Every structure is written in C-alpha cells, then in structure tokens.
C-alpha cells in the first residue's frame, strides 16, 4: 500500500515530450540561480531576466501541450514551435553572456540542434544547425565581434552534431518501425494460429460425433447436430464410390428422402464426384449454371450453391461430403477451409462405418445361410426318410407276404416302391446339380431346340403322370428355334410345372404359355394356388429357399428354382415370378431367340 501511494504522488515521465519538460524545468531553475548570482553590465541585466521569463513561459506551454491530445499534424507543428522557442532561449542566453570572454554558455546553441535532430531526424538536425550557427554569427556581429579562427570549428561542430544525432534518431525510428511491423506480424500469426486451432478443434468435434457409433443412423444424427452448429446448411449428403457407381450413404435437410435418398446409386460418369475424386474441393457458387445432371433436382428444392469436399483416406478419395444452401455464393473462405478439413477427418469414420455395415451384412448373410443349411439338412433328412421308409416297408411286406398277396396288391406295392425311388433319385439329382453349379462343372450340350415341341412334350407328360390338376398349353403363334440344351431346358420346364401342380388346388388348372416377340421367347407357367408373398419372391430362387404360403409349405428340397434360374441364366435368359397372394403365381422364363 505505501508503495502504491508513492507511485500516485511521484510523477514519472513516460514520453519523450515529458522528459523534455522535466529538462526545461531544471534548466529554468539553473537559469534563475545563474542570473541572480551573476553581475551583469547595467544594460544586460533586464535582458537576462527577460530571457529567463521567456524560458519559464516556454516551459509552462510545453508542459500544457503534453497533456493535450493532438493529431499528428498539430503535434508536429507544436514540436517545431517549441524547438524555435528553445532556440530563441538559447540564443538569448548566448547574447546576455556574450560580454564574457570564453563564457561556456556559447555552447547552448547545440541544445536546439540536438532537440531538432531528436524530433525530426537528419533534416531537422541540419536545419537547426544552420539556423543556430547563423544566429551565433549575428550575436558576435552585434556584440563582442567575430573571432575568425573559431568560425570553422563552430560550423563543423554544429553540422556534425545535427548530422550524428539525426542519423541515430533515424536509425532508431527505422528499427522501431521494423519492430512494430514484426510485432504486428507476430500478432497476426498468433491470431491466425488461434483461429486454425479453433477450426481444427471444431472439425475434430464433428468428426468425433460421426465416429461416436458404428450404427449409421445414430452416427449420422450426431454428426448432423454438430455440423449444423458449425457450418449451417440447407442440405447435406455423404456419397461414397462403389466401383463406377456413386452410392448415397446418408442425407439430411431439404429433400433428404425424395432426392438421392440413402441407398440411391447412380453412375459416376458425368457427376460432380468425378471432379472430387481428383482430390480437390469443388465450390459451386451458383447452381443456375447447371453444370451437372443433378443440378435441376437441387434447384427444384430451392438450393442455389453447393460446397463439395473429397473424403480422403490418406491420399485416396473414397467419396464426397456435400453441403448446399439456398443462396448463391453463400460459402466463405473459412467455411471452405473447414469443410475441406472435415473431408479428411470424416473419411476414416465413414470408412469404419462402411466396413462395419459390410461385415454386419456378411455376418447376417452367413447366419441366414447357416440357418438355410440347417433347414436343408432337416428337410433333406425328412425328404429322404419318408420315401426310404415307404420303400423299406413295401419291400418287407412283399418279402414276408408275397404268397398271401393278390396280383393287384403286389402291383400296388411295386408301384409305390417305384414312385418313392423316383422321389429319392430326384432329390439326390437336385443336390448333385447344385454342387456342380457351385463348382462350375455343370455341363451343357447346346443344339437347336424346338421350343413348341418342348412345351407340348412337357404338358403331355404332366397330364400322364397325374390327374388331379389339369395342365394345358397355350402357344401363341409360331415359336422360333433357339440354341440350347434340350434336356436342361426340359428340366426347367418340368420343375416349374411340378411346382405349379403341387401348389394348385384339386381340380385346378395349370396353364403353360409360350410366345415370341422382340427377339426373345417367353415361356410362362401359371397356377391357381395360394400365391407367393412379395417378401418371399426373392428367397425362393436362393439355395434351400422356400416360401411360407397359406396352408403350409409342400414337400421339397428348396433347390429346384435355384437350379432352374441357373440354367436359364446359362442360356442368356432369365427366370422371374409374378404373384399376388390368393391369386396364384406365374413363373416366366425368357430366352434369346436364335442364338
């Protein structure tokens, strides 16, 4: 506390002008004492006190000026006026003491020179030197007279004094400017470094939000919440590269579920992603220029500008992050820099989510296949056990009671054995065919095939082997021959007819149609059964896949349609199903005509 009190009482000069005021006050005191103690000639005394009084007035004025805030021009003029006044004071003291031979006050002419050099540099020092040396010549001429041998030294000392001090002042001013420039540059770099640190922290926060979960919906929701607070947008999307395809991973904002929704896939060629894959950010200042096909859709949503940053995994682009706004040229340089940084930070999280999704789907698929195999083993065991039990039972009955059975009874048991043996052979054949298809050893023998004859034979055979369901053919026009494997195509058609008969009601009808148009032949098999639910229409073509239909599934291995589709595709064709529950099902085989 005492030290603080003393600081408030004792005045400490801080600026150059305040130091000069302090020096003037001290010199005024010295001047008063000197004039009071000096015995001047009678005519000199009044002038000595006039000079002292003028010096005191100058000191008071200079002290007042240090407390007034002046602009640079007014400050320069005030400094020049004070230097002139100090010069008059110095010349005054030189004049009133000129009666003394060798008096030391003659060197007071150097003080204004030093002051001018300190204030205005070399120009001020030289100008003041010329003025003060000239004034001493006037004093000598009016007073004691010239001492010629001192003139060169006086001139030389005055000029050198102004030149040296002015040069030092200029050097110090230049160094001060350099120091100030360096300080300003350091301040700018510090601010820029702080800004970049803030940007990096914000980008890391957004990237961490995306990496907070491996579940896409949860991770993208957290990412959007952070991103919206950092870089406002009307629409955003993450798009990944899948070969030559651009696949939308996630979207939010305007038209998120209508325009390029999650899971949407489109061609990479011609899209903005082609530019982004070169590793550079794309700033689209006005979508009205319509550079890409998707621009019309974005414009319909009211979007006008777009910022697209590559998702860089190391140096490899794996997709893009897009942000859109409803005003043209709406992104600042700082936002462009931030989004470019986000593209690098987000890429790793996106890749992790994509890898997790891929592994999860793979695990689910493996689990599904495992379940299908388990079902297949159970199904095949049942399918094998039933006919084998029937065959064994019939054979033992014939063996033990042959003589007791009538001829018709023997024929019935033998027919049962033949039918069940055929079922076993068909099941084993399906399993073997599936194994060959997977191994790539399923054989074909291609030749010219008359499809009309093939359909007629299949319908005729179906009518002979069963009488519960009516099987009819409906061939429209003349069918061209195709090149294929007759036995394999007969296998496909027989499989489809058998399935249709199996699921048709008693006294129902199965229609086998065939027609040719546009270079292809279409064979359809329609039944009046319970139909196939939409969610099962893909499963039935997979290995061991079976549909759950009203009334329960029929016996079978779940391999027939898989084999039939594989054979159709091997002929360059397709096998599809159209079905509505409770309205039957229609299987359509499409084959290229001629080739």
In this predicted structure, which of 30-34, 485-489, 543-547 has the lowest mean pLDDT?
543-547
Instruction: Over range 271-298, report the average pLDDT.
Output: 85
Q: Catalogue all structural domains in the chain, each as residue range(s) with its CATH number.
A: 2-181 (no CATH), 212-362 (3.30.450.40), 443-592 (3.30.565.10)
pLDDT single digits (tens) 317-368: 888 888 899 899 888 888 888 788 877 777 777 777 778 778 888 888 788 7
Q: Are 252 and 220 in contact (CB under 8 A)?
A: yes
List, in sequence order, the alpha helices (H) in 231-332: 272-276, 295-300
Confidence tier at 457 by pLDDT (50, 70, 90): confident
Give the pLDDT confidence score for residue 589 in this predicted structure: 92
Pick 332 or 545 by higher pLDDT.
Answer: 332
Give the pLDDT confidence score for residue 168 in this predicted structure: 86
Distance separating the N- and C-terminal Cα atoms of the chain: 109
Quick check: helix, strand or coil at residue 524? strand
- Which helix (H) or strand (E) segment holds residue 151: the answer is helix 151-210
Pick 141 or 384 by higher pLDDT.
Answer: 141
Nearest to 58 by CA among 132, 115, 104, 96: 115
Give the pLDDT confidence score for residue 5 in this predicted structure: 45
| pLDDT higher than threshold 50 for residue 9 | no
Instruction: Over range 424-451, report the average pLDDT.
Output: 78
Residues found in the chain = 595
Q: Are 323 and 339 in contact (CB under 8 A)?
A: yes
Give the pLDDT confidence score for residue 3 in this predicted structure: 46
The 3-state DSSP composition of the chain as helix, strand, coil percent (nearest 5) reads: 60, 15, 25
Name the range with the highest mean pLDDT among 90-94, 289-293, 325-329, 551-555. Answer: 325-329
Q: Are 332 and 305 in contact (CB under 8 A)?
A: no
Instruction: Over range 565-592, report the average pLDDT.
Output: 88
Instruction: Over range 390-407, report the average pLDDT.
Output: 83
- DSSP output for 238-266: EEEEETTEEEEEEEEETTTTTSS-TT-EE
Distances in whole angstroms, Cα of residue 265 to Cα of each of 261, 303, 581: 9, 21, 31
What lies within 8 Å, CB to CB, of 243 at 6+ separation is none
Q: How many helices (H) and strands (E) does the chain have?
A: 14, 13
Residue 309 backbone phi and psi in degrees, to 5 = -115, 140
pLDDT single digits (tens) 127-186: 888 888 787 777 777 766 666 666 777 778 778 878 888 888 888 888 888 989 998 898
The rounded mean pLDDT for the chain is 80
CB atoms within 10 A of CB 131: 19
Report pTM: 0.44
Confidence tier at 2 by pLDDT (50, 70, 90): very low
Give the pLDDT confidence score for residue 394 in this predicted structure: 82
């Amino acid at each position: 506390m005492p030290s603080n009190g003393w600081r408030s009482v004792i005045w400490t000069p801080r600026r150059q002008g305040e130091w000069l005021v302090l020096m003037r006050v001290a010199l005024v005191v010295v001047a008063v004492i000197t004039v009071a103690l000096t015995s001047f000639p009678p005519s000199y005394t009044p002038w000595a006190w006039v000079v002292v009084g003028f010096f005191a007035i100058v000191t008071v004025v200079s002290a007042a000026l240090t407390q007034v805030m002046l602009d640079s021009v007014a400050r320069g003029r005030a400094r020049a006026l004070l230097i002139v006044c100090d010069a008059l004071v110095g010349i005054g003291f030189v004049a009133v003491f000129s009666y003394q031979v060798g008096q030391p006050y003659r060197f007071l002419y150097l003080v204004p020179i030093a002051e001018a050099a300190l204030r205005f540099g070399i120009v001020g020092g030289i100008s003041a030197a010329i003025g003060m040396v000239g004034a001493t010549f006037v004093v000598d001429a009016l007073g004691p007279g010239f001492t010629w041998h001192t003139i060169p030294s006086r001139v030389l000392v005055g000029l050198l004094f102004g030149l040296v001090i002015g040069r030092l002042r200029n050097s110090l001013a230049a160094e001060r400017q350099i120091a100030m420039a360096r300080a300003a540059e350091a301040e700018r770099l510090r601010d820029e470094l702080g800004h970049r640190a803030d940007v990096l922290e914000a980008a890391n926060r957004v990237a961490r939000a995306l990496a907070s979960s491996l579940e896409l919906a949860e991770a993208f929701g957290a990412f959007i919440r952070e991103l919206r607070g950092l870089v406002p947008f009307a629409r955003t999307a993450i798009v990944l590269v899948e070969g030559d395809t651009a696949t939308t991973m996630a979207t939010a904002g305007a038209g998120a579920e209508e325009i390029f929704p999650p899971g949407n896939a489109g061609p990479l060629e011609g899209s903005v992603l082609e530019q982004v894959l070169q590793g550079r950010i794309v700033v689209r200042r006005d979508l009205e220029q319509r550079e890409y096909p998707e621009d019309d859709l974005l414009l319909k949503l009211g979007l006008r500008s777009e910022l697209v940053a590559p998702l860089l995994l190391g140096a490899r682009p794996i997709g893009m992050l897009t942000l859109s706004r409803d005003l043209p040229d709406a992104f600042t340089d700082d936002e462009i820099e931030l989004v470019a940084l986000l593209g690098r930070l987000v890429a790793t999280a996106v890749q992790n989510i994509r890898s997790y999704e891929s592994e999860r789907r793979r695990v689910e698929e493996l689990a599904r296949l495992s379940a299908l195999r388990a079902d297949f083993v159970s199904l095949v065991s049942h399918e094998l056990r039933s006919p084998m039990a029937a065959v064994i039972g019939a054979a033992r009955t014939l063996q033990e009671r042959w003589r007791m059975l009538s001829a018709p009874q023997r024929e019935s048991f033998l027919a049962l054995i033949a039918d069940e043996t055929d079922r076993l052979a068909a099941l084993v054949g399906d399993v073997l065919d599936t194994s060959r298809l997977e191994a790539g050893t399923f054989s074909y023998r291609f030749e010219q095939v008359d499809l009309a004859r093939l359909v007629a034979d299949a319908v005729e055979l179906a009518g002979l082997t069963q009488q519960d369901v009516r099987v009819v053919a409906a061939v429209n026009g003349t069918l061209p021959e195709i090149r294929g494997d007759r036995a394999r195509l007969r296998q496909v058609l027989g499989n489809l007819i058998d399935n249709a008969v199996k699921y048709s009601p008693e006294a129902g009808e199965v229609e086998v149609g065939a027609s040719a148009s546009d270079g292809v032949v279409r064979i359809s098999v329609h039944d009046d059964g319970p139909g196939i639910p939409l969610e099962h229409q893909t499963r039935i073509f997979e290995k061991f896949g079976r549909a759950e239909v009203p009334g329960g599934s029929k016996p079978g291995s779940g391999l027939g349609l898989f084999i039939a589709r594989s054979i159709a595709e091997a002929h360059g064709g397709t096998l599809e199903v159209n079905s509505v529950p409770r309205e039957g099902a229609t299987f359509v085989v499409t084959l290229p005509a001629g080739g």
